Amino acid sequence: MHYFERTKVRDALRAEKPQEDVIILGWVRTKRVSKNVAFLEVNDGSTLANLQLVLEPDKFPILDEVNTGTSIKATGDLVESKGGKQAWEVQVKTLEIIGHCPQDYPLQKKRHSFEFLREIAHIRPRTNTFGVVNRFRSKMAYAVHKFFQERGFYYVHTPIITASDCEGAGEMFRVTTFDLNKVPMTDGHVDFRQDFFGQETSLTVSGQLEAELLATAIGDVYTFGPTFRAENSNTSRHLAEFWMIEPEMAFCDLEENMKIIEEFLKYLCQYALDNCQEEMQFFNKWIDKTHTRIQTLEEIVNSDFGVITYTEAIEILKKADRKFEFPVEWGLDLQSEHERYLTEEYFKRPMMVIDYPKDIKAFYMRLNDDNKTVRAVDVLVPQVGEIVGGSQREERLDKLIQRMEELGMDIEGMQWYLDIRRWGSVPHSGFGLGFERILMYMSGISNIRDVIPFPRTPGNAKF
Amino acid sequence: MHYFERTKVRDALRAEKPQEDVIILGWVRTKRVSKNVAFLEVNDGSTLANLQLVLEPDKFPILDEVNTGTSIKATGDLVESKGGKQAWEVQVKTLEIIGHCPQDYPLQKKRHSFEFLREIAHIRPRTNTFGVVNRFRSKMAYAVHKFFQERGFYYVHTPIITASDCEGAGEMFRVTTFDLNKVPMTDGHVDFRQDFFGQETSLTVSGQLEAELLATAIGDVYTFGPTFRAENSNTSRHLAEFWMIEPEMAFCDLEENMKIIEEFLKYLCQYALDNCQEEMQFFNKWIDKTHTRIQTLEEIVNSDFGVITYTEAIEILKKADRKFEFPVEWGLDLQSEHERYLTEEYFKRPMMVIDYPKDIKAFYMRLNDDNKTVRAVDVLVPQVGEIVGGSQREERLDKLIQRMEELGMDIEGMQWYLDIRRWGSVPHSGFGLGFERILMYMSGISNIRDVIPFPRTPGNAKF
């Protein structure tokens, strides 16, 4: 099939000198035929741009069978292009159809709405936009690994199927091998002892608790894996299945955690600017209506993230000359409109808000001496609001048990989590970043269903 | 907390010159106190070896409270060690207990069985063996990404929750938000329209089908994510949840696929030899009873993988001067004893067996012209048997539909999979590698539950 001998389109377009007898394998995007010359624009998914193939129509009657979407093999000479649009083109010597493409192919040469493309998510990676998105996603995933690996963090695979509930949120998918037509019951209740794992199990909402176990053994770790929320929210910002990055560091307090968060976010932005120029230019031109996407990333890289407490944030919001939809009151969570006011209008830079009331944060966050607030941090960025949430974890066994009791949690079932506070407990901290959220932010794509290949949302598990 | 200022044990042990006033944060592994001198062996998870702290016992009455497992902060001077065992040690100036460790700590200074450690999987990463295993797992996961990214492959996240069944195996975990106490029924059957996704859904057994969609759009892709099998098999080689690597290449036939498989396996072995010396030496000394683990990897790197057809393999096995437990007959699958005979005894090198009978392989494999066999490849390595399975995929729409009909598959529900054969179909190929299987092979660890942090097996979803 000439997999190894062919020249990928990306490499052809970056050629430094002409080359005879290259082999091109790809899909035809457009065909233009005139009396004396024919042009095929060919793409093989390696890059956004197409490679132009130039043919003499008389010599290639097979051109009649070539449509948009047809897969072909061509051989010819890579030469400097006479047209202005591209540097290189191929003067074709042989042309072969690999796979025909009938006219019912849904991706004819016109622009399709994102809504329509979501319906054909199995085909949309063949479009310019979703080719770019998928390549960008891959490069940024690698950037995540590079950042942590180069800093001595260890990548850990925390379990997907779990018998515990990290956030206490309850919005979890059940996992079972029961035949749902006849669930075994004992004394009027489901008999989970007969299920595959001998107990009730769910899909994880976070790998954090297990990451803590590993951090307090091998130091600095990070997870990067799928997490799940069975929330019935059909919004442009929620998925039932999404990928999370959750670093966890032993011997690390909140201030140090915040430094790592800032360094990480800046690294991702700089990485995109350096290594995803094609993708960033595409987003800047075609996705971001204000054409400021590149500028936004540069601003993140060059900004100093500010720090305020939640209490200070509430004071600022109360004094704001602004009518908010949601109430501003100490003890209530900040809404997106509040977060955006703080970062976009008041401070005009990324902000870290710390020390939130304990009652609006998770049980595992470290209690401050005021007994009212916890060592939480939310990172707010312009245009989005919260993009990262983190905290220093409660490492004091008695305080943690007390908090779990207050919340009526299952302490007996969480002994494994308490054990790391029992034996050689250490201050430790971590944070969570939704991978799709950062991809949306960096690309300017406004619907989360467009930054993951096959989105899972209420009523939709297609493909 | 001095997260940034401290010196990690790994870096201290690799020092090039003495250094005054280092900060060490870690857990005490052992304490030895004599009249004039005390030694603390401290580990922080960054590496296998401990750092020796040297103290004058008179000056540190706090030593009485230091046990195995206690977390400490020490400051002092990093100096060349006078003892023979280590190059560097710290002459301690200050010592502080961060977290006490009572005597009920289960990891006292003795060897524990792997069975016992599996019961305390939340604590076992603190042992030498499981520290090494977790660091090795992280480094090899990164090697997987490096291999593919450096070759222009794109990392794709295929869905975990799925409405389709790749292998037709049926051994899948159901995913639901139904209250199992009262599953909604209509006409005597479960009404999945009322479930979260509006249809029956499961945990994926493979990302391959979706990877094919992406490969036939953006070229070369790979998945690396969790997959699930609800098989009730309590063996040392099976997990209900495990991580798979599934590359998929467009314009690639079986022979080219086989070259990539061989290059990939050799890369992983060479990467471990180059970048995981500490781990490989540990495995060679403490895990592999024959102490040939490093040699095994070197042999893989230096071998030429052989190729035979399944039919040839059957002939060899029939002539073998050997009593097999399972029958050898054309049309029956090869068992582990057969595979090991071929690779270990007959050929004495890694072997690729191709062209298996279609009835023992998956529906999507490309039919050969004999109409009996398919373009499958299994890679066999000594000591293990099969380690990789791959194939060229059936890219001919009519042949694929015919095969699916023969097998009574749901063709209507699989139109999305057929569509990529409908519009610009291309030869494409791929393979699957169980990440835990390769870790077992490379480390010599014989139970798969010991190469993943929190194993999921029948009856066990702890932590």
Listing DSSP states for B371-439 in one string gives SSEEEEEEEEETTTEEEEEEEEB---HHHHHHHHHHTT--TGGGHHHHHHHHSS---EEEEEEEHHHHH
For domain B124-450, give the CATH superfamily: Bira Bifunctional Protein; Domain 2 (3.30.930.10)
Q: Residue B159's pLDDT is what?
A: 98
Q: What is the pLDDT of residues A338-373, one digit of tens each?
A: 999 999 999 999 999 999 999 999 999 999 999 999
* Residue B169, pLDDT above cutoff 70: no
Q: What is the pLDDT of residues A58-78, one digit of tens each?
A: 999 999 999 999 999 999 999
Show Cβ contacts of residue A197 under 8 Å, excluding neighbours closer than 6 positions.
A161, A163, B240, B456, B458, B459, B460, B461
The pTM for the full model equals 0.97
Return the residue of B nearest to A189 by Cα. B181
Which of B134, B189, B240 lies nearest to residue A196, judging by beta carbons? B240
- Say yes or no for a CB contact (<8 Å) between B461 and A162: yes
- Say yes or no for a CB contact (<8 Å) between A161 and B461: yes
Return the residue of B nearest to A215 by Cα. B45
End-to-end CA distance of chain A, in Å? 28
Q: Residue B111's pLDDT is what?
A: 84
Q: What is the pLDDT of residues B313-362, one digit of tens each?
A: 999 999 999 999 999 999 999 999 999 999 999 999 999 999 999 999 99
Return the residue of B nearest to A219 by Cα. B45
- Say yes or no for a CB contact (<8 Å) between A131 and B230: no
Distance CA A328, CA A333 (A): 8
Please, which pLDDT band fits residue B307 given cuts at 50, 70 and 90? very high
* Residue A450, pLDDT above cutoff 80: yes
Q: Which chain B residues are Cβ-neighbours of A196 within 8 angstroms? A: 173, 230, 232, 240, 458-459
Which of A201, A230, A259 lies nearest to residue B461, judging by beta carbons? A201
Q: Which residue type, as a one-letter code, is found at position B260?
A: I
Specify the DSSP element, H or E, that contains A246: strand A241-250
For the domain made up of A3-99, give the CATH fold: OB fold (Dihydrolipoamide Acetyltransferase, E2P) (2.40.50)
Q: What is the pLDDT of residues B208-219, one digit of tens each?
A: 999 999 999 999
Q: Which chain B residues are Cβ-neighbours of A123 within 8 angstroms? A: 213, 217, 419-420, 423
Distance CA B424, CA B60 (A): 76
Which of B1, B130, B417 lies nearest to residue A256, judging by beta carbons? B1
Q: Count of CB contacts below 8 A, A vs B?
A: 344
- Say yes or no for a CB contact (<8 Å) between A226 and B160: yes
Nearest-neighbour CA in chain A from B104: distance (Å) = 9
- Say yes or no for a CB contact (<8 Å) between B424 and A163: no
Residue ranges of domains in chain A: 3-99, 124-450
Question: Which of B9, B42, B180, B182 has the most A C-beta neighbours within 10 Å, making it the best mutation to test the interface with A?
Answer: B180
Please, which pLDDT band fits residue A170 given cuts at 50, 70 and 90? low
Q: What is the pLDDT of residues B23-78, one digit of tens each?
A: 999 999 999 999 999 999 999 999 999 999 999 999 999 999 999 999 999 999 99
Return the residue of B nearest to A23 by Cα. B251
Burial of B315 (0-12, 13-18, 19+ CB in 10 A): middle
Nearest-neighbour CA in chain B from A318: distance (Å) = 35
Q: Which chain B residues are Cβ-neighbours of A419 within 8 angstroms? A: 122-123
Q: Which chain A residues are Cβ-neighbours of B271 within 8 angstroms? A: none
- Say yes or no for a CB contact (<8 Å) between B174 and A175: yes
Tokens of B37: 């001198």
Please, which pLDDT band fits residue B85 given cuts at 50, 70 and 90? confident
ipTM above 0.95, yes or no: yes
Nearest-neighbour CA in chain A from B385: distance (Å) = 26
**Phi/psi at B174 (5° precision):** -80, 145
Show Cβ contacts of residue A321 under 8 Å, excluding neighbours closer than 6 positions.
none
Which of A145, A210, A420 lies nearest to residue B142, judging by beta carbons? A145
Which of A159, A218, A452 lies nearest to residue B135, judging by beta carbons? A218
Q: What is the pLDDT of residues B254-290, one digit of tens each?
A: 999 999 999 999 999 999 999 999 999 999 999 999 9
Percent of chain B at pLDDT > 90 equals 94
Q: Can you list the positions of beta strands (E) in B180-219?
A: 185-186, 189-190, 201-203
Distance CA B183, CA A337 (A): 40
- Please state the rounded mean pLDDT for residues A192-212: 96
String of b and e for A404-432 (b: at least 16 CB within 10 Å)? beeeeeeeeebebbebbbbbbbbbbbbbb
